[in-house]
Structure 1
Amino acid sequence: MLAAGPLLAPDARISRALVRAVPDAITERLADLGNVEVAVPVLLLAMVYAGRRARRWRPALAAGLAMALVPALIVPLKEWTARPGPLEPWAAGYFPSGHTATSTVAYLGAALLVGPFARRPWPMAVALLLAGATAVGLVLRGFHWPLDVLASWLLCLPLLLGVGAVSRSTRGSSSRTPNLRTGPS
């Protein structure tokens, strides 16, 4: 059980200062952005849009694989650490945050897929806002410690770097491929 350690005291102090600082009705809605029923359909729509628009499915499939790896990565860590929640010291399995990981991979993955077609930074800005709002909601509501959220972000980074790498490699090769606008080289 890894429910103790040198970071627990600062994590608890920060959590005590933040929990319920904003009304529950607001923070619960923010935390709900990390629900599978909310975040995964956003990613699925982005996968279909990007795949059909680019006529290449590798980036979309990479994003889907990243999302499929979230529970495979998070659930064993939750069981191994058995960390209690800020408001439920009798319960275990709060570290790392599954809702944070779900929202991060879904929204940022969607932005990586849709971003090249927008030609503006708004998809990534919206994705960062949604993932950040989820994390803030989880901490302010007392569903997770701040370090639960931070750990999820760090665990998602390699997954998103993989999606980004596949997206860039596919775009790079597509510049040599004729399309309706450019025609043959």
Structure 2
Amino acid sequence: MSVALPVLAVTLAYVVWRTRAWFPALVAVLAMALVPALVAPLQSLLARPGPPPMAPDTGFYPSGHAATAAVAYGLCALLLHHRLLPHGCALLNAAVGLGLVHQGYHWPADVVGSWCVAVLLLCAAAYAISRSSRRTSSGTARS
């Protein structure tokens, strides 16, 4: 979170400065706000124990850290529209997931579950942004 959120903040500032469009940035902020709103209840509901160093504690599925990273970096790739960014985003998130598992913070399934949550949020954000840009471009085409 200490890296992913500042990277997203810089990306949002750049996109708003470059395009003067606030709606994609608002969608991104909403998507990020939905990460803990979805992950925390799932963790409480499922109460899955963590790997051995964390064993008695529960609430590890899905991984909030992996979900935050996946949504933040995914939104950056979505907003910047560069063809290589999705590949870099996937590699970066794979590294985050592997790091979480390797350090003993999460089981592999915790990370995969968080990626599933992230895909849902990113698809919803992409849909909202594309609908907005279609309306804007069709509205200016008529004027």
Same fold (TM over 0.5): yes
Structure 1 distance, partners of 2:62, 2:128, is: 26
Question: Contact 1:49/1:114 (CA < 8 Å) preserved in 2?
Answer: no
Q: After TM superposition, give the deviation of residue 172 of structure 1 in Å.
A: 2.6
Structure 2 distance, partners of 1:154, 1:73, is: 12
From 94, 109, 124, the equivalent of 1:162 is 124
Structure 2 runs not aligned, ≥5 long: none
The residue number in structure 2 matching 1:138 is: 100
The residue number in structure 1 matching 2:75 is: 109
Q: After TM superposition, give the deviation of residue 65 of structure 1 in Å.
A: 0.5
Structure showing the higher helix proportion among its residues:
2
SS of 2:57's equivalent?
coil
The code of the aligned residue for 1:105 comes to V
Which whole-Å deviations, capped at 9, do the CAs of 1:16-58 have from their partners, x for residues lacking one? xxxxxxxxxxxxxxxxxxxx22111111111111122122111
What is the RMSD of the two structures over their aligned residues, measured on CA atoms? 1.8
The residue number in structure 2 matching 1:51 is: 16
Q: After TM superposition, give the deviation of residue 167 of structure 1 in Å.
A: 2.3
Is 1:121–2:87 an aligned residue pair?
no
Aligned positions of 1:9-24 closer than 5 A:
none
Structure 2 distance, partners of 1:166, 1:43, is: 18
Structure 1 runs not aligned, ≥5 long: 1-35, 179-183
Q: After TM superposition, give the deviation of residue 174 of structure 1 in Å.
A: 4.2
Which whole-Å deviations, capped at 9, do the CAs of 1:76-125 have from their partners, x for residues lacking one? 1111211111122111111110011000000001110111xxxx412222
The residue number in structure 1 matching 2:134 is: 172
Structure 2 distance, partners of 1:50, 1:170, is: 15
The residue number in structure 1 matching 2:48 is: 83
Structure 2 distance, partners of 1:105, 1:137, is: 17
What fraction of aligned residue pairs are identical, expressed as a percent?
A: 43
Is 1:148–2:114 an aligned residue pair?
no
The residue number in structure 2 matching 1:100 is: 66
TM-score (norm 1): 0.70
- The verdict on how the C-alpha distance between 1:52 and 1:166 changes in structure 2, with shifts beyond 3 A counting, is farther
Q: Greater CA radius of gyration, 1 or 2? A: 1
Structure 1 distance, partners of 2:95, 2:33, is: 22
